[in-house]
Amino acid sequence: MDERIERFVELYQHMDDKVQQISYIDLRYDTGAAIGWLSEQKGQESSNDQGHG
């Protein structure tokens, strides 16, 4: 399976009850992902940094 898909599946499994609050998951990074939350103002994002930098 593609590494990014595997990362998405792993990340999704840890989201539990927060899945409904997600606006987007950005997987374009080689070693991490950025999550955009519905409750955040436009232009802000939170990242799940797994070595991205």
Give me 36's structure tokens: 């955009």
Asked if residue 42 is part of any domain, the answer here is yes
Cα gap 9→52, rounded to integer Å: 18
- Amino acid 48: pLDDT: 56
Asked if residue 14 is part of any domain, the answer here is yes
pLDDT in tens, 1-51: 688 889 899 988 988 888 999 999 999 988 889 999 997 555 545 555 555
Split into its structural domains, the chain has a count of 1
Instruction: Kindly tell me the burial class for residue 29, based on how many C-beta atoms sit within 10 Å of its own C-beta (0-12, 13-18, 19 or more).
Output: middle
Residue 49, C-beta contacts closer than 8 angstroms, at least 6 positions apart: 32
Asked if residue 9 is part of any domain, the answer here is yes
Asked if residue 43 is part of any domain, the answer here is yes
Asked if residue 23 is part of any domain, the answer here is yes
Asked if residue 53 is part of any domain, the answer here is no
Domain limits for position 13: 3-48
Which residue matches tokens 């987007």? 24
Asked if residue 30 is part of any domain, the answer here is yes
